[in-house]
């Protein structure tokens, strides 16, 4: 099993939206970075753990726990000229962008960036590295365990 941190703008899809969705499952659409796409396409497996992270909002941070719920498949938004994620160079025969479905497991208290930065064990976490802007990053098993312990505590 592997672990991931997946960022979503809560205006687009929040942990509450995922919990309210049928089977608590949402497609992780709109990823347009090759490295993040490759994580979904090549490395993610059904059942992998996911830290559901709210980004580009007043209080960014980990807002819930989820899991990868499907194998990768083409992101249909790349084919829709009306979508902000449309890619005219992508075709159904040769799709460029993939997605996975993510199943929300539980909403947690918000674990903020300053809180994560204050935890010595998370000092090397990819999310916290200067200049990191990826929407999907791997999380080590040690980082996952550390976050699980801290997320259950009051800040």
R_g of the chain computed on alpha carbons: 15
Pairing verdict, β 73-74 and 25-27:
unpaired
Please report the beta strands in the chain, taking only residues with DSSP state E, as ranges in sequence order.
3-8, 25-27, 49-54, 61-68, 73-74, 98-99, 101-112, 136-139
**Rounded Cα–Cα distance for residues 103 and 15 (Å):** 10
**Rounded Cα–Cα distance for residues 65 and 106 (Å):** 5
**Nearest partner of 76 among 26, 13, 29, judged by Cα:** 29
pLDDT of 117 reads: 95
**Rounded Cα–Cα distance for residues 134 and 132 (Å):** 6
* 1 secondary structure, DSSP code: -
The structure's pTM equals 0.95
Residue range 100-138, pLDDT digits in tens:
999 999 999 999 999 999 999 999 999 999 888 899 999
In the block, tokens 């992780």 appear at 28
pLDDT of 86 reads: 97
The low-confidence residues of the chain, meaning pLDDT below 70, are 154-155
Contact between residue 71 and residue 46 where contact means Cβ atoms under 8 Å apart: yes
pLDDT of 154 reads: 64
**Rounded Cα–Cα distance for residues 96 and 29 (Å):** 13
**Sequence-ordered list of residues with C-beta below 8 angstroms from that of 125, at least 6 positions apart, any chain:** 116, 139, 140, 143
pLDDT of 132 reads: 84
Q: Which residue ranges form the domains of the chain, and what is each CATH number?
A: 3-151 (3.10.590.10)
pLDDT of 131 reads: 84
């Amino acid at each position: 099993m592997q672990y991931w941190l997946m960022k979503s703008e809560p205006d687009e899809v929040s942990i509450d939206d995922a919990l309210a969705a049928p089977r608590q499952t949402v497609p992780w659409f709109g990823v347009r970075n090759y490295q993040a796409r490759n994580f979904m396409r090549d490395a993610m497996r059904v059942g992998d753990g996911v830290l559901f992270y709210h980004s580009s909002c007043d209080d960014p941070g980990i807002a819930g726990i989820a899991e990868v719920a499907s194998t990768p498949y083409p992101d249909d938004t790349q084919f829709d000229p009306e979508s902000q994620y449309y890619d005219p160079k992508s075709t159904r025969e040769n799709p460029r962008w993939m997605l996975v479905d993510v199943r929300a497991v539980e909403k947690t208290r918000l674990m903020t960036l300053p809180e994560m930065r204050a935890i010595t064990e998370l000092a090397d976490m990819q999310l916290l590295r200067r200049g990191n802007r990826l929407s999907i990053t791997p999380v080590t098993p040690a980082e996952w365990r550390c976050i699980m312990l801290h997320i259950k505590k009051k800040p």
